[in-house]
Chain A
């Protein structure tokens, strides 16, 4: 995919960063090193590598157009915010109704009918544990699951996840904490079995 267009006139990036870079230099320095991370995060958001690739490509175009407004600080946070906007845009194109109702999470959604392994924490077999863990994570509310995957799998910081999801850091921490507790419960927490 190519994006023909005339080369921008002498745009400089990072007015606060010395020395100021050309747009192309800034793109090479700030954006390209983050491509793999953006792909992993995009995969977590979309659940599909083709969709993740499209999302990142869309984000790169947006980032290139916005580079002259970027101050050179915190490139990863800037790119993750762009990724979020691009993702929201793509969701709105598919589903015009979007919800920002976090109360949905508070009301909860119990995973009825999902079997609990006899004692997965004993790791009777790695395969059983991994399978049960995957089922536990899949049974989570999507917002809990996304936050959990971004932190514990993609190894983003809470601040970075906040940029990706467009929510406060405290909300990210709460979602991740609740997700882990629900997964533990699904796996059969040993709390109730520990002797006092």
Chain B
């Protein structure tokens, strides 16, 4: 049977991990976590369904939004007109 201390520690660990899940998934240099923090989060997620579900949702959200990029590509005409402006600046 878990003691009250262990339960409090697990709750603290869960809270600590949950607020870092987005940084855990990020490859941005400014969001980088220390190796020991990464290991701590991985160990916690392996045994916490709530954080595991949150991680899946963050991953799904990032993947879905990354897919929007294919719908937000400037058309060739727009790109060419802007390149023409760039060329005219250097040729004038």
Do the beta carbons of A52 and B74 come within 8 Å of each other?
A: yes
Interface flag for B2 (CB, 8 Å): no
Do the beta carbons of A133 and B64 come within 8 Å of each other?
A: yes
Do the beta carbons of A2 and B82 come within 8 Å of each other?
A: no
- Mark out the residues of chain A between 123 and 170 whose CB falls within 8 Å of any chain B CB in the assembled complex: 129-130, 133, 137, 148-149, 152-155, 157-159, 169
Do the beta carbons of A64 and B79 come within 8 Å of each other?
A: no
Do the beta carbons of B31 and A152 come within 8 Å of each other?
A: no
Within the complex, which residue of A157, A159, A194 is in contact with B50, where a contact is CB–CB below 8 Å?
Answer: A194
> How many Cβ-Cβ contacts under 8 Å join chain A to chain B?
123
A31 vs B83: C-alpha distance when bound (angstroms): 10
- Mark out the residues of chain A between 44 and 79 whose CB falls within 8 Å of any chain B CB in the assembled complex: 44, 49, 52-53, 56-57, 60-61, 64
Interface residue range, chain A: 35 or more
Interface flag for A93 (CB, 8 Å): no
A149 vs B56: C-alpha distance when bound (angstroms): 20
Interface flag for A180 (CB, 8 Å): yes
Interface flag for B4 (CB, 8 Å): no
- Mark out the residues of chain A between 163 and 182 whose CB falls within 8 Å of any chain B CB in the assembled complex: 169, 173, 176-177, 180
Q: How many residues of B are counted as interface, with CB atoms below 8 angstroms from the partner's CB atoms?
A: 36
A2 vs B87: C-alpha distance when bound (angstroms): 9
Within the complex, which residue of B61, B78, B85 is in contact with A49, where a contact is CB–CB below 8 Å?
Answer: B78
Find the B residue at minimum CB distance from A156: B28
Do the beta carbons of A196 and B50 come within 8 Å of each other?
A: yes
Residues of chain B contacted by A180 (CB below 8 angstroms):
22, 58, 61
Interface residues of A (CB under 8 A from B): 1-5, 7, 23-24, 27-28, 31-32, 35-36, 39-40, 43-44, 49, 52-53, 56-57, 60-61, 64, 121, 129-130, 133, 137, 148-149, 152-155, 157-159, 169, 173, 176-177, 180, 183-184, 187, 189-191, 193-196
